[in-house]
Amino acid sequence: MVQDITYTVGSLFAGIGGFCRAFKNEGFNVIWANELDPYACQTYKHNYPETRLYEKSVEDLSVISDNLESVDILTAGFPCQSFSLAGNKLGFEDPRGKLFFEIIRLLKEFGRNKPKIIVLENVKNLLSHNKSQTFKRIEVEIQNAGYWFKAPVDEKGNLRSQFSNARILNTREHTEIPQNRERLYMVAFSRDYFNNNNFNFPTINEEGLKDVREFLDLEMKADPAFYFDESSKYGKMFAEKIARGDKDSVYLLRRAYVRENKKDCTFTLTANMGEGGHNVPVIQDDWGIRKLTPRECARLQGFKDNQFLFPEGMPKAKQYKQIGNAVTVDLVQKLAAQCLKTLNSAKK
């Protein structure tokens, strides 16, 4: 990709670098990142050795003492557990929920050199959490930090008809990747750099989905550890469900029953995959019934084989957790492409 200038990116809560890979693919230079989890840090450094990684809590990160370079774009997929339907829903009462305010603190520490654009990601329930009062607080905080930002809901939780800076995007609707994954994306613009608030979120993908089995290694037998013993309790449950359903579908054990995904895609990949086989999608191949491997799950998050590898010896449970915590690269890359157009237009 040819462009007049190489724009820079900093990434908070970087994880294994989903945001970073997406922006790199669009020609951006990711110059620094921050992550606390030691296993995710190992994976990040393995794939992005050229990027300076601050391995500490965002609460301990400082623009001044850590000599954080000013960047054009700041990304942050901040912790979602306190806003998720599957979590405790304590919002800003949960220490993890309060980490959002560390983003605001760092923006203010940059002063006049604050990022031109910030791109945030979280679960879709953040939009309606606490009757939309949580998101209203986020809107005010971002605006007070010097950014154009309008929530898609008003104080009463009603959807606004005019433009907003937040949108729920689904991987299977906006890319060719067959994963049912809804996430809330937010994009804000510095009032010091932009004269207006104008951003086009990705439209629905008209190309259709790729076959989920294109992402799987079906030509060879997987490691025996991924296969179920079909005489075991869970093995029997999957075998019985698959016998009644489509052998090419993806299945998932939810509590005491097995679900079949009948939309030719996989279920949402979650961090809970690292907590046991109940949360990992399951398929049937020529050798039996097995869980998707971490490599296959990575592909379904947009991590290409030639761009991403787990470091040798990384525990499988940690690999699953890291993939589930990541953003879908292909989807974020569409946001990155629009950020590039927006920056170039403002420059002209």
User: What is the percent of the chain where pLDDT is above 70?
Assistant: 89
Q: Average the pLDDT over 13-26 and give the result.
A: 98
Residue 159 DSSP label = B
Rounded CA-CA distance 146/165 in Å is 14
Rounded CA-CA distance 40/19 in Å is 14
pLDDT of residue 89: 55
Burial label, 65 (beta-carbon count in 10 A; 0-12, 13-18, 19+): exposed
pLDDT of residue 82: 65
Rounded CA-CA distance 281/252 in Å is 5
Q: Is residue 20 annotated as a catalytic residue, yes or no?
A: no
- Looking at 80, 265, 297, 339, which residue is catalytic? 80
269 vs 123 pLDDT, higher one: 269
Residue 123 DSSP label = -
Burial track 191-214 (b if 16+ CB lie within 10 A, e otherwise): eebbeebebebbeebeeebeebbe
Residue 167 DSSP label = E
pLDDT tier at 160, thresholds 50, 70, 90:
low
Q: CATH 3.40.50.150 spans which residues of the chain? A: 8-208+323-347
pTM over 0.85: yes
Q: Is the pLDDT of residue 1 over 50?
A: no
Q: Judge contact between 111 and 47, C-beta under 8 A.
A: no
Q: Which CATH architecture has domain 8-208+323-347?
A: 3-Layer(aba) Sandwich (3.40)
- Digit-coded pLDDT (tens) for 188-217: 999 999 998 888 899 999 888 999 999 999
Percent of the chain that is helix, strand, coil (3-state, to 5)? 35, 20, 45
CA angle 298, 313, 29 (to 5 degrees): 50
Tokens 């179920």 locate to: 228
Q: Average the pLDDT over 92-105 and give the result.
A: 78
Burial label, 150 (beta-carbon count in 10 A; 0-12, 13-18, 19+): middle
Q: Judge contact between 20 and 76, C-beta under 8 A.
A: no
Rounded CA-CA distance 197/191 in Å is 9
pLDDT tier at 155, thresholds 50, 70, 90:
low
Mapped onto helix, strand or coil, the DSSP state of residue 197 is coil
Residues with Cβ within 8 Å of residue 50, at least 6 apart in sequence: none
The pairing of beta strand 182-190 with beta strand 8-12: unpaired
pLDDT tier at 326, thresholds 50, 70, 90:
very high
pLDDT of residue 78: 85
Position 77: which residue type?
G
pLDDT tier at 245, thresholds 50, 70, 90:
very high
Angle between helices 316-325 and 38-47 (to 10 degrees): 80
Position 268: which residue type?
T
Q: Is the pLDDT of residue 319 over 80?
A: yes
pLDDT of residue 88: 52
